[in-house]
């Protein structure tokens, strides 16, 4: 199968649109015709070489499409099904899936970081040479082949150009609130109000938090944060004191929950510091360089605070993601305000520029 795709040839270089070859799906695999994909901060970090990335590769992990070909032994999907690719699969049989304590499925944990599929190869190639599939996906391609366990079947009534954001943004942010078990009446701080942060705010409002404090240096995002449910918006540059102190003073000692959504090491430590002594919880949602290290005082933990991490919001893709799509169709979840730009695949480098400049929340690339 021939496919238009945006290829990252090396770290830091612009993506190049090429026509690649996509091999047929093997046992347990499915070919998808992508309808839409989005550019996420994780893609940007990968392109900059700040995440584990093999070049040349097709980036992209946030998208939606339609099943067009089935490999042997595929049992849960049919031709024409509408699906969302999953960078966090759900096999249902590994020790993690069977535990029901985590969404960290082990089935692809050795191959996804290498940007290959389970047989050790990629289904993408160009002029006979392999092109890697970032995170085992590569949604910046019009067609792609992925394992059946890395797909969530969704309601065909959902517009694919919008629900593609459930491939990362919405699910990660709203799921993080659910994972933290934020109760009604809780106070919440959200550091970074990009797509993930706004999703956390939306989730916190859905959880009936009494106060939701949004923290960002881009004041242009404040009206949108308030629309999603933020009760306060703070710009750290407006204060001489550390922002953790400002938050603690305004919340009688700290918030119950703080969500860090920027990937900044300093903000991760700040999020922990601004939580309430005795029970405060900080949740790391943002993606940081895996080689970085965080320095915090042990006294923050001695005083009863806790730190929690989450990937994909703790959501299990096969069994839980489709319900989020249903909530969107019922009007309980908002997506439209996230999509600030609709672009063609040929404009994908512009999508990265808009992300870096802070002008976009999410740019959606439509293939059709």
> pLDDT digits over 289-317, tens only?
878 888 888 888 889 999 999 999 999 99
Domain 2-167+335-366: homologous superfamily in CATH: Medium-chain alcohol dehydrogenases, catalytic domain (3.90.180.10)
What is the residue-averaged pLDDT of the chain? 96
For the stretch 339-351, pLDDT in tens is: 999 999 999 999 9
- Residue 50: pLDDT above 90? no
The single-letter DSSP state of residue 79 is T
In degrees rounded to 5, what are phi and psi of residue 177? -65, -40
Residue 152's pLDDT band (boundaries 50, 70, 90)? very high
For the stretch 189-201, pLDDT in tens is: 999 999 999 999 9
- Compute how many other C-beta atoms are within 10 angstroms of the C-beta atom of residue 97: 22
Q: What is the pLDDT of residue 136?
A: 96
Q: What is the pLDDT of residue 294?
A: 84
End-to-end CA distance of the chain: 17
In contact, 84 and 144? CB cutoff 8 Å: no
Q: What is the pLDDT of residue 302?
A: 86
**363 membership: H or E segment, kind and range:** strand 362-366
Q: What is the pLDDT of residue 52?
A: 82
Q: What is the pLDDT of residue 289?
A: 80
Looking at residues 353-368, what average pLDDT do you find?
A: 94
**Fold match flag (2-167+335-366 vs 173-311):** no
The single-letter DSSP state of residue 186 is -
Residue 36 β-bridge partners: 64, 366
- Residue 236: pLDDT above 90? yes
Domain 173-311: homologous superfamily in CATH: NAD(P)-binding Rossmann-like Domain (3.40.50.720)
Q: What residue spans define the domains of the chain?
A: 2-167+335-366, 173-311
Looking at residues 59-69, what average pLDDT do you find?
A: 98
């Amino acid at each position: 199968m021939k496919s238009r795709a945006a290829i990252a040839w090396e770290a830091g270089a612009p993506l190049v649109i090429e026509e690649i070859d996509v091999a047929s799906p093997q046992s347990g695999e499915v070919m998808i015709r992508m309808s839409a994909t989005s550019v996420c901060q994780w893609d940007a970090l990968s392109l900059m070489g700040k995440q584990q990335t093999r070049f040349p590769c097709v980036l992209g992990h946030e998208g939606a499409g339609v099943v067009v070909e089935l490999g042997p032994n595929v049992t849960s999907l049919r031709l024409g099904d509408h699906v969302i690719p999953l960078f966090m699969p759900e096999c249902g049989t590994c020790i993690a899936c069977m535990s029901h304590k985590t969404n960290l499925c082990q089935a692809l944990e050795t191959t996804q970081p290498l940007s290959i599929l389970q047989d050790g190869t990629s289904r993408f190639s160009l002029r006979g040479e392999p092109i890697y599939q970032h995170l085992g996906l590569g949604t910046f391609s019009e067609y792609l082949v992925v394992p059946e366990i890395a797909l969530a079947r969704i309601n065909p009534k959902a517009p694919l150009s919008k629900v593609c954001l459930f491939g990362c943004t919405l699910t990660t942010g709203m799921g993080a609130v659910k994972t933290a078990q934020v109760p009604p009446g809780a106070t919440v701080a959200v550091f970074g109000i990009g797509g993930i942060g706004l999703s956390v705010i939306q989730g916190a409002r859905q959880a009936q938090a009494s106060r939701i404090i949004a923290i960002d240096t881009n004041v242009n995002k404040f009206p949108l944060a308030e629309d999603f449910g933020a009760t306060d918006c703070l710009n750290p540059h407006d204060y001489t004191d550390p922002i953790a102190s400002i938050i603690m003073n305004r919340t009688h000692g700290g918030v119950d929950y703080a969500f860090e959504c920027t990937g900044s090491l300093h903000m991760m430590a700040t999020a922990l510091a601004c939580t309430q002594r005795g029970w405060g919880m900080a949740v790391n949602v943002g993606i940081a360089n895996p080689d970085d290290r965080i320095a915090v005082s042990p006294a923050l933990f001695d005083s009863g605070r806790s730190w929690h991490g989450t990937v994909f919001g703790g959501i299990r893709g096969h069994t839980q993601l489709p319900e989020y799509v249903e909530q969107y169709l019922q009007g309980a979840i908002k997506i439209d305000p996230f999509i600030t730009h609709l672009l063609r695949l040929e404009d994908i480098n512009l999508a990265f520029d808009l992300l870096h400049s802070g002008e976009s929340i999410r740019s959606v690339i439509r293939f059709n």
